Structure 1
Amino acid sequence: MGGDPTRCVAELEMKTDSCVIDIPSLAQQLRVELSSFKSSTARVVGGAAPPPCIIVDKVGESTRNHDPHEYVPQFVSIGPYHRAAGDHLAGEAIKVKYLGDVLSAAAANSTAPMTLEDYLSELAHLEHSVRRCYVHSFDIPSREFVRMLLLDACYILVRFGDVLTPRTAAPPQPAAAAAAEEVAVANGVVHAGHRVVPTEERRAAADDQQMAVAVVRDVLYLAENQIPFFVVDKVHQLTFLDGETPVLDAIARYAHELLSWTEYSVATPTVVAPPALRPEPANLLHLLHMHFTPTVLASGKVSRGGRSVGRWRTATEYHYAGVTFKRRPLSGNGGARSILDVKVSRRGGALQVPRLSIDGETWRLLRNLMALEQSNPSAAGSHVTAYCVFMSQLACTARDVELLSRRGVIVHGLGNDGEVAGLFANLCKGAVFDFDEADQNYLRPVCQVLDRRFRSRPRRWMASLRQKYFLNPWLTAGLVAATIGLVCTVIQAVYSVLSYVKPGS
């Protein structure tokens, strides 16, 4: 397809709603919106979408009733679920500008770039596959649905896909440094060096900060605010016809740097050695979810036997049973790869838990990862849900949070330990989870070891004795003195009895 768009008329019947899309008319509408921006023309590469395996669903009412704001975009709408509110979100207006940026990038990197009609036509071919990725059907005409896909894909590519920076004339930053800088901004950190920052520049930096945080929150973290990844990949292919820069590399690098910075994960699930198949995410939240696969599941060593388990005990109860909590550092070399890599000693005396750094977005990320698993139990598993259930019961009181904070397992900047405990206690409201199902609960063997220790009365008595007497040096000294006195008294009594029974001996 190509040529003069004012003379070329292409009609495409879509199976989903038996509607005809007037491609040139839709392209002209977008060109009007692009009138204030520079844009170029381009040409098309075909391709089919992969069958959906991860579906996008609405979060259940029993879950979202606790805090609905954790699942609703506040800045930018992506996909059909919140499209009705898109016109009222600040991020919607910039999507058209990003479409112009993508078209400009296509023109700069090809002598025969794709036309806007080509982009729309290719996405129209994918419409049926895209609609299958959502649980609900949408009464959105094909014309508007395809327009939405194109604008949302361009938004994602410009924000996270390195569409502009790697191919500009200016020397680019190293990939890791550039991603780390964006992650720093997204987490509220602005590096201004040792110079004085003017007031206007400081205000602009604060605005950029807030926007970066809002974009990461809405586009990466929200289960309902997603489009299939193959749509983003298709638009990227049309933009860079050489095929030498897979979009997954850029977005996965951003995700890896983001999760490393926030100390949630250091895993690199998209990097595999040949001939292994490279894992492809279903959407951006699923890409983050791929970084949270526990090491025990990645190794295939899942324990299924042993005694049945119930709920977890609190951290204080385990402490009274003699369990010592230790912070397990994140490390790619045989250590913990994510916060899910909880480890227990053979007899249950030490529980190693990766540190959880809690900020304003921690609960949103964990809740939406659980929502992804609840909608896709077979394809996504339930390991994030298992971890959240573990933490929600381990740290459900202020005393538990205070204990775990002292041990370095939890770090938070919220008002007090009671506030954190309340958030933990409500973390898994509405989630469906079977403690005793080995395929759902990867922490079941850990729970079994700790439960045996908790039920052991001699160990609990010894632990109680140590905590009551040996943690206080004065009580320890008194107990030692009393023990020595008791031993001396027993020896004296024995000698007295012997001297009475055997006089003169």
Structure 2
Amino acid sequence: MEDQQGQADDSHVVNIPPLVQELREQLANDHSSEVQVQFGGGSPPCPIVIAEVGHLTRNVDEAMYDPHRISIGPYHKNPDLAMEAEKIRSLRAVLSAASSSAALEVYVDELERLEDHARRCYAHSFGNISSREFVRMLLLDGCYVLAQFGGVGGVRRWNHAGAGMSSGHVEGGAPPAAAPSGDRLETVAVVRDVFYLVENQIPFFILDKILQITVSDPSAHAAGRIMLYVHELLKRLQYCSVAPAPALRPGNLLHLVHMHFEPTNPPSQTAGEAPGGKKLGRWRTATEYYFVGVTFKPRPLDSGKVRSILDVNLDSGGGTLEIPPLNIDAETWRLLHNLMALEQRNPGAAGSHVTAYCVFMSQLACTAADVDLLSRKGIIAHGLGNNSEVAGRFANLCKGILFSLDDPSGNYLRATCRALEERFQSRARRWMAWLGRKYFDNPWLFIGLVAAAVGLACTVVQAVYAVLSYN
């Protein structure tokens, strides 16, 4: 019995040395992979990591992040979306524009050398995609972008002169006037899928390498060619007025779009504020600010002082809030959602300016009354069903987003929010605003108030003279 009991006890004994060795090997492998990702294995670090959108954010509206016309990159590699024939034609156009020495083998060899670096620019390892398929994807997708939007090969289907939005708020930008009307929806879908989606991307240095081989210039950069299209597109959509500095190097096409969304005043203006004090809870709604006497005024992009829609300004007296007009179409939400997703994954390289702006607008215009007020003031223009639909979109804009209003380095509107909150909490200002709204907005009430004041003054004077005459 004792032997059997001893054997039963031995069956629960853990073999310590092999377990320790296994854990040490896993720690060593994890450390080596971390160093490889951090230092790029001898390659320059990726400026922007291309990652999948988190489940909490994606679950709000999955359609905001999925391509519907063309697949770029490995996340949404789908035969139904690949547009394989169009990509092959773009490859042929790029090869025809290259010098005779730049054969197809040269492109493949150069991209094979960049494969490991390109893979490290994605948050996912994609072990299920072979090296051959991965390099083929990079080459075809890169040639497609350069041919269609960079003018390489002379087959650009949609020039930047026709990339803007019509007065009827056609979603996503309209094709050139010469394009057939039947291609309009295809153009909108392709522009949206290529430029707006955070997951539908390839690293920008792949485009640079293909261009350098094509033009036989190792210093050539694709950003200059594609920048013309992107800037004209965003300018016609009235999102920005100033192009970013030519020296900036984007990580991918969405990052190139993101570079246009920069506030004129950097967040460092609030970085020197003393710590402590009352923390900011949230922005008030537009109607609440209006109730305490805040005046809303549109700040046009063509004023020469406004770079983009992010340039919100509060005057020195704190009574006038100037906001650049936001023209809303069906693709506005998609663009803002994906720009925020880019910032959430790359806070160091991309910052959080767009997220700060979206939090501001999502809380300022979260009810139909707020949207109605801002529409009447010329700050919001939309062609959607009604103000309630727009308010619902704003209310859901930042669900699943991590952001702190009290972070001075991340919230460039922190000082504005604090000044408006102090005004909102001032009882004197609230009473003055209430009197102004009640009596001075209505001319008849104002006339009645003046008449009552004159009558009261006359009564007082009459009483004084009566007392003096009696004496």
Short-chain TM bin: 0.7 to 0.9
In the other structure, the counterpart of 2:112 is: 124
Distance 2:281 2:360 in 1: 11
Structure 1 residue 337 displacement after superposition = 0.5
Say whether residues 1:301 and 2:269 are aligned partners: yes
1: CA distance, partners of 2:427 / 2:355: 31
388, 402, 421: which one aligns with 1:418? 388
C-alpha contact 1:316 1:403 (8 A) present in aligned 2 = yes
Aligned counterpart, 1:82: 76
In structure 2, C-alpha distance between the alignment counterparts of 1:115 and 1:122, rounded to whole Å: 11
Residue 61 (1) aligns with residue 55 (2): yes
* Distance (whole Å) between structure 1 residues aligned to residue 64 and residue 84 of structure 2: 20
- In structure 1, distance between residues paired with 2:231 and 2:290: 34
Task: Give 1:91 shift.
Answer: 2.8
Percent identity, aligned pairs only, is 57
Q: How many residues align?
A: 422
Q: Give how far 1:301 is off.
A: 2.9
> Which residue is equivalent to 1:205?
180
CA gap 1:332/1:235 in 2 versus in 1, 3 angstroms = farther
Q: Secondary structure at the match of 2:337?
A: helix
Gap change, CA 1:270 and 1:91, over 3 Å in 2:
farther
Q: 1:18-417 alignment to 2 at 5 Å?
A: 50-83=44-77, 85=78, 87-89=79-81, 91-106=83-98, 110=99, 112-139=100-127, 140-165=129-154, 178-183=159-164, 187-188=173-174, 191=177, 205-242=180-217, 246-271=221-246, 278-297=247-266, 300-305=268-273, 307=277, 308-331=279-302, 333=304, 335-417=305-387
| Structure 1 length-normalised TM | 0.80
Segments of 5+ residues of structure 1 without an aligned counterpart are 1-15, 17-47, 193-203, 272-277
Once the 2 structures are TM-superposed, how far is the Cα of residue 331 of structure 1 from its aligned partner? 3.5
Aligned partner of 1:188: which letter? A
- The one-letter code matched in structure 2 to 1:187 is G
Going from structure 1 to structure 2, the CA distance change for 1:286 and 1:470 (only over 3 Å counts) comes to same
Partners in 2 of 1:115 and 1:332 — Cα distance? 50
Query: Aligned equivalents of 2:82 and 2:201: distance in 1?
Result: 17
Q: Could you say if the C-alpha distance between residues 244 and 134 of structure 1 is closer, same or farther in structure 2, counting changes exceeding 3 Å? A: closer
Match for 1:102: what amino acid? V
Secondary structure of the residue that 1:292 maps to in structure 2? coil
Q: Structure 2 length normalisation: TM-score?
A: 0.85
Q: Give, as a single letter, the amino acid of the residue that structure 1 aligns with 2:70.
A: V
What is the CA–CA distance in structure 2 between the aligned matches of 1:409 and 1:321, rounded to whole Å?
19
Provide the secondary structure at the position in 2 that maps to 1:346.
coil
What's the secondary structure of 1:79's corresponding residue? coil
Q: Is the 2:271–2:409 contact (alpha carbons within 8 Å) kept by the matching residues of 1?
A: no
Q: For the structure 1 residues 365 and 493, does the alpha-carbon distance in structure 2 shift closer, same or farther, using more than 3 Å as the test?
A: same
Q: d(CA) in 1 for partners of 2:313 and 2:377?
A: 15
Matched, 1:456 2:426: yes
Amino acid at match of 1:401: V
Amino acid in the other structure paired with 1:101: A
Query: Matched residues in 1 for 2:398 and 2:248: separation?
Result: 28
Secondary structure at 1:188's aligned position in 2? coil
For the aligned residues, what is the CA RMSD? 2.2
Q: CA deviation at 1:486?
A: 1.5
Taking a change above 3 Å as real, the CA distance of residues 131 and 359 of structure 1, as seen in their structure-2 partners, is same
Partner deviation per Cα, 1:311-364 (whole Å, 9 max, x = no partner): 00000000000000000011473x110000000012210000000000010000
Rounded to whole Å, the distance in 1 between the matches of 2:217 and 2:412 is: 43
Matches within 5 A, 1:5-24: none
**In the alignment, which residue of structure 1 is the partner of 2:27?**
none
Q: Distance in 1 between matches of 2:325 and 2:357?
A: 13
Contact residue 337 and residue 397 of structure 2 kept, 8 A = yes
CA distance in 2, matches of 1:356, 1:421: 13
Q: Which residues of structure 2 form unaligned runs of 5+?
A: 1-32, 34-41, 167-171
Residues 71-111 of structure 1: CA deviation (Å, up to 9, x unaligned): 0000001111111x2x11163331111111111111xxx3x
Deviation at 1:266, TM superposition (A): 1.3
Whether the aligned pair in 1 keeps the contact of 2:175 and 2:187 (CA below 8 Å) is: no
CA distance in 1, matches of 2:253, 2:146: 12
Instruction: Judge conservation of contact 2:340–2:355 (CA < 8 Å) in 1.
Output: yes
| Contact residue 201 and residue 253 of structure 2 kept, 8 A | yes
C-alpha deviation, 1:497, in angstroms: 3.4
Q: Is the 8 A contact 1:184 1:190 kept in 2?
A: no
Contact kept in structure 2, 1:219 and 1:284, CA below 8 Å: yes
Tell me by how many angstroms 1:369 deviates. 0.2
Contact 2:69 2:189 in 1 (8 A): yes
Cα 1:90–1:332 change in 2 (3 A) is farther
Taking the aligned partners of 1:126 and 1:242, their CA distance within structure 2 comes to 18
Distance 2:455 2:394 in 1: 49
